């Protein structure tokens, strides 16, 4: 469903901000010889991975982000170079890497470029980037309760409340809800809901501060919990999770979804909100670049397509997806 909302403005600005990162991905793909490898014909992710001696996951991240910025195209299940662009992107060609007004292009942010390259070569997150703490390798509290994100979550929550009718439900739990902004957005349209933000303890302070400023329903509470291990709040009839599944590999996602299924009464629902990759895995831009972010920051991360998530939800036992 497409909704005109404040989020449209936000997404447009976010897309512009992807520009510098897009150049870093292109510089990385050039440096690792992706386009030169594809000069003899389109290749599947497995073939790209084998030829570049990298794992499947980074091969997919690289191909998807390159497709999203239009420097690769999809030919059936294979990724291919884009026509005349080979002259600029394939080593040995006359105009190789001469595509800016000033000639050769490099990384916009060499530090970030090095992290992206290292993550692609090693299939491992680069500590110090994003929400991993350099010293401990654990997620950094400051990222999760960053106050501005609370207001963005409220906008997202409003979109969810426009897309789904919560009238007949009583209690909603936002798994990994951080500051609880989504619940604020949802509760503004459905003030009858009891709502719980279920997240790790380090998010408590940010959530309580954010909710104190923005929760007019007064029914949203924070509960400390680990969604892999702790009992989910009882009598919940809606489990909501936003940008949570993309942090985890298939087994961990299945664990969360199965635990939701087991905790729900008959007729209960689970809602997963994500920036979905399209089924061809060629974009859209924000999903592809969010996939890049979680890939080089989080250990198990994977940006999912709609059908991949549907498959997991169905395997967890849910019907009427
Ligand atoms: C990418 S953030 C998403 C935050 C929010 N839902 C949103 O859409 O902006 C992932 C959230 O999952 C939480 N999280 C990570 N591991 C968790 C766990 N084992 N149990 C509960 N929450 C967890 C993090 O603290 C963080 O708030």
pLDDT at 2: 47
Atom of ligand 1 nearest to the CA of 273: 8
Per-residue model confidence as pLDDT tens digits over 136-191: 666 666 555 566 689 889 999 999 999 999 999 999 999 999 999 999 999 999 99
pLDDT at 1: 44
Contact 173, 238 (CB under 8 A): yes
Closest-CA residue, ligand 1 atom 12, reads 176
Lowest mean pLDDT among 100-104, 137-141, 266-270, 311-315: 137-141
Q: Which two tokens stand for residue 270?
A: 């689970």
pLDDT-derived band of residue 3, with 50, 70 and 90 as boundaries? very low
Tell me, using a 6 A CB cutoff, whether residue 177 lines ligand 1.
Answer: yes
Phi and psi torsions of 316, nearest 5°: -70, -10
**pLDDT (mean) for 6-32:** 89
Q: Residue 265: is its pLDDT beyond 80?
A: yes
Delineate the domains of the chain, giving CATH numbers in brackets.
16-124 (1.10.10.10), 142-278+306-315 (3.40.50.150)
Give DSSP secondary structure letters for 136-171: T-SBPHHHHT-HHHHHHHHHHHHHHHHHS--TT--E
Tell me, using a 6 A CB cutoff, whether residue 60 lines ligand 1.
Answer: no
Residues 6+ apart with CB under 8 A from 78: 41, 42, 43, 44, 47
Matching residue, tokens 């001469």: 98
Give 115 Cα–ligand 1 centroid separation in angstroms. Answer: 23
**pLDDT (mean) for 233-237:** 98
Q: What is the DSSP letter of 304?
A: P
Contact 47, 315 (CB under 8 A): no
Give 146 Cα–ligand 1 centroid separation in angstroms. Answer: 13
Q: Which two tokens stand for residue 175?
A: 């798994």
pLDDT at 140: 63
Contact 51, 35 (CB under 8 A): no
Pocket test for ligand 1, best of 10, 159, 199 (most atoms within 8 A of CB): 199
Tell me, using a 6 A CB cutoff, whether residue 244 lines ligand 1.
Answer: yes
């Amino acid at each position: 469903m497409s909704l005109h909302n404040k989020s449209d403005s936000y997404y447009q600005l976010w897309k512009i901000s992807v520009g510098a990162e897009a150049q870093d991905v292109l510089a990385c793909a050039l440096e690792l010889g992706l386009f030169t490898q594809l000069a003899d014909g389109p290749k599947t992710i497995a073939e790209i991975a084998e030829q570049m001696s990298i794992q499947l996951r980074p091969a997919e991240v690289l191909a998807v982000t390159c497709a999203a910025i239009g420097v690769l195209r999809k030919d059936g299940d294979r990724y291919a170079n884009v026509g005349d662009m080979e002259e600029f992107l394939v080593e040995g060609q006359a105009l190789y890497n001469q595509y800016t007004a000033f000639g050769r292009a490099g990384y916009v942010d060499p530090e970030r470029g090095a992290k992206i390259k290292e993550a692609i070569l090693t299939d491992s997150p680069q500590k110090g980037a994003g929400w991993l703490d350099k010293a401990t390798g654990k997620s950094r509290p400051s990222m999760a309760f960053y106050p501005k994100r609370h207001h963005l979550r409220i906008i997202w929550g409003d979109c969810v409340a426009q897309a789904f009718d919560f009238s007949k439900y009583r209690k909603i739990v936002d798994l990994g809800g951080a500051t609880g902004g989504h619940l604020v957005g949802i509760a503004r349209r459905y003030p009858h809901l009891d709502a719980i933000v279920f997240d790790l303890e380090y998010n408590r302070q940010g959530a309580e501060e954010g909710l104190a400023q923005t929760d007019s329903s007064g029914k949203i509470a924070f509960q400390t919990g680990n969604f892999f291990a702790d009992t989910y709040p009882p009598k919940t009839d809606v489990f909501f999770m936003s940008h949570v599944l993309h942090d985890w590999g298939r087994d961990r996602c299945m664990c969360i979804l199965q635990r939701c299924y087991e905790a729900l009464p008959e007729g209960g629902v689970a809602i997963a909100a994500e920036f979905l990759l399209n089924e061809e895995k060629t974009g859209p831009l924000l999903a592809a670049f969010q996939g890049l972010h979680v890939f080089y920051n989080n250990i198990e991360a994977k940006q999912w397509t709609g059908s991949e998530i549907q498959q997991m939800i169905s395997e967890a036992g849910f019907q009427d997806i």
